Amino acid sequence: MSLVNHSAPSTRDANLYIQRRARLQRIGDMKPFNGWVEEIRERQVRIRLGPSKQMLSPGDKLSVEVAGKEHTAVFIGEVVLAAEWIVELAITEGVDLQPKKESPRVNMFGERCKLYFEDAEIIAISVDISERGLGLVMTCELQPGTSMEFEVGTQLGTICGTGTILYSRADPFSANRFRAGIEVSGLAPADQEKWNMLQDFPPVPW
């Protein structure tokens, strides 16, 4: 499939990438970073970075991929501002809209979540969601392949469903914390409608 090239996303198209996961790679040493797109205006993009042992500085150039609902936006950005975990990038060339490589992940950090197993109830905090996935952080490790029920708070109200633990691993940046991913397999019709709406839900202003 041929690439569609744009000098910069239109305002309408840009909104499809707000609060979506961004994957970044520094040109030169190929160091990876990740974060969430917070703002897009004209030819500048603001990204809140995730934890990293590496730092970015003004002048660094990055290859950036942001998975949207229909396409993956790919561009080269130069760091014009780096303040702790916030970076602002100037788009130095065009933006290529490529076929999706993965389901877009939408930032939903900080919502309380309960996981129900046959013999236990675990409290977790949401990180992100996708069409069929839910990312979490918690204080215990889970067994991949385990089935469970869950309920998670969202901007549209509580959603209940069933799923399977895809992975569970220690957080390298925080002691006694674990990251887990759930494959969502069952939602009631009303909850499915909310889940679908969250994929396009307007983000809370930062």
Encode pLDDT of 151-201 as tens digits: 999 999 999 999 999 999 999 888 899 999 999 999 999 999 999 999 886
Q: And the tokens for 199?
A: 């994929």
10 Å CB burial of residue 172 (0-12, 13-18, 19+) is exposed
* Residues of the chain under the 50 pLDDT cut: 1-5, 7, 11, 204-206
Q: What is the pLDDT of residue 32?
A: 96
Q: Kindly give, in sequence order, each residue whose CB lies less than 8 Å from that of residue 193, ignoring residues fewer than 6 positions away.
A: none
Q: What is the pLDDT of residue 205?
A: 40
Q: What is the pLDDT of residue 9?
A: 54
**Strand 71-83 relative to strand 61-67, pairing:** antiparallel
- The pTM of the full predicted model, rounded to 2 decimals, is 0.84
Encode pLDDT of 143-152 as tens digits: 999 999 999 9
Q: What is the pLDDT of residue 89?
A: 98
Q: What is the pLDDT of residue 178?
A: 97
